[in-house]
Amino acid sequence: MLGAAALTLLAGAGLTHVLATRREARAAQTHPPTGQLHDIDGIRMHARVMGDGPDLVMIHGSSGNLRDFTLDLAPALAKRYRVILVDRPGLGWSEAHPDGDTLSTQARLIQATVARLGADRPIVLGQSYGGAVGLTWASERPDTLSALVAVSAPAMPWNTGLGTYYTVTSSLPGRWIVIPLIAAFVPEAYVAREIAAVFAPQPAPDGYVEHFGPDLTLRRAALRANAMQRRGLLAQITEMSTHYGRITVPVELLHGDHDTTVPHQIHAAPLAQALDQARLTLLPGVGHMPHHTNIPDVIAAIDRAALRAGEK
């Protein structure tokens, strides 16, 4: 009986590996790198450059990749800015760093990547988790950017915990047992429903799911990287929030007042009070994804940041 159980487990593990590998191969075929790969201290970083003008770096959020910006927003901005889109370490087509769970390491690698591309003091826009990376960049490397635009960004400590999903997937058994099962068996339709929930109360734009590429998110390495980054986020923001006085560049905060993923009352509002140079724009009735649902407001915030920084 034990032999039969062992064979069943081995067969299940083999099927899981085959299906996860097949999904990862499909992701590479349907959503390959769209930019250039750069070696930064032995870590492969993926970046794409669009347009011409003042340098603008865009940093995506959790479970994401640079395609999150390229459906509508980045092409619109590229008419007036040199837009540099970067996959965060471990996500998209950027390689995971051994310390890539930390905001500090991610900010350093992204800053080094864009400096390689000639952007010495860019405007930096970060959405959601990417906004936390931007805040880290601004507090730890204030001489290497000219302004910061934080969209729906976590910025202050919260007390709701990590949640079941990330508690499980960031654990040792979760990383090596549960994540392969997710990669192999979770259908794209489920990912589409999760994306719709993140966009609520607004709908996701037509074509967004196909453009974004759920298979990129459902690769085992990306799922593990994202889980570990989320696991460490609260402790890192708690520490970082004590150093916001180091931020010297103009800061534009943009947040929907119906954002239930990163509530503005916990994050953007107290950050605006803590930073004299921060200006908060609340968007009535808007959820977590204004860089898709309120593109004119995002562009206006970038333009204000550029003007305040003397870039326009």
Q: What is the pLDDT of residues 67-87, one digit of tens each?
A: 999 999 999 999 999 999 999
Is the residue at 8 inside a domain? Answer: no
Predicted local distance difference test score (pLDDT) of residue 225: 97
Classified as helix, coil or strand, 163 is coil
Predicted local distance difference test score (pLDDT) of residue 1: 54
Domain count, the chain: 1
Q: The tokens 């908060």 sit on which residue?
A: 280
pLDDT digits (tens), the chain, 312 positions: 556 555 555 556 789 999 999 999 999 999 999 999 999 999 999 999 999 999 999 999 999 999 999 999 999 999 999 999 999 999 999 999 998 789 999 999 999 999 999 999 999 999 999 999 999 999 999 999 999 999 999 999 999 889 999 999 999 999 999 999 999 999 888 888 999 999 999 999 999 999 999 899 999 999 999 999 999 999 999 999 999 999 999 999 999 999 999 999 999 999 999 999 999 999 999 999 999 999 999 999 999 999 999 876
Is the residue at 11 inside a domain? Answer: no
Q: What is the pTM of this model?
A: 0.95
Please give the C-alpha separations between residue 237 and each of 125, 157, 244, 248, in angstroms, as whole numbers: 18, 6, 10, 18
Predicted local distance difference test score (pLDDT) of residue 241: 95
Largest Cα span, the chain: 74
CA dihedral 220, 106, 60, 169 (to 10 degrees): 30
Give the 3-state DSSP-derived string for 177-206, with helices as H, strands as E and coil as C: HHHHHHHHHCCHHHHHHHHHHHHCCCCCCC
Predicted local distance difference test score (pLDDT) of residue 6: 54
Q: What is the pLDDT of residues 233-264, one digit of tens each?
A: 999 999 999 999 999 999 999 999 999 999 99
Predicted local distance difference test score (pLDDT) of residue 13: 77
Classified as helix, coil or strand, 65 is coil
Question: Which strands sit side by side in the sheet containing 36-40, from one edge to the other?
Answer: 36-40, 43-50, 82-86, 55-59, 123-127, 147-151, 251-256, 278-283
Contact 282, 275 (CB under 8 A): no
Is the residue at 172 inside a domain? Answer: yes
Amino acid at 249: V
Is the residue at 6 inside a domain? Answer: no
Is the residue at 81 inside a domain? Answer: yes
Is the residue at 276 inside a domain? Answer: yes
- Please list the helix, strand and coil fractions of the chain in percent, rounded to the nearest 5, in that order: 50, 15, 35
Strands (E), the chain: 36-40, 43-50, 55-59, 82-86, 123-127, 147-151, 251-256, 278-283
CATH of the domain at 69: 3.40.50.1820
Predicted local distance difference test score (pLDDT) of residue 189: 84
Q: How far apart are CA 118 and CA 172, in angstroms?
A: 40
Rg of the chain, C-alpha, whole Å: 19
Is the residue at 10 inside a domain? Answer: no
Predicted local distance difference test score (pLDDT) of residue 70: 97
Nearest 5°: the CA angle 60, 312, 281 is 50
Q: Which two tokens stand for residue 100?
A: 């890539």
Predicted local distance difference test score (pLDDT) of residue 5: 56
Is the residue at 145 inside a domain? Answer: yes
Give the domain extent around 123.
Answer: 16-308
| Cis preceding linkage at 89, omega within 30 | no
Q: How far apart are CA 259 and CA 80, in angstroms?
A: 29
Q: Which two tokens stand for residue 282?
A: 């609340």
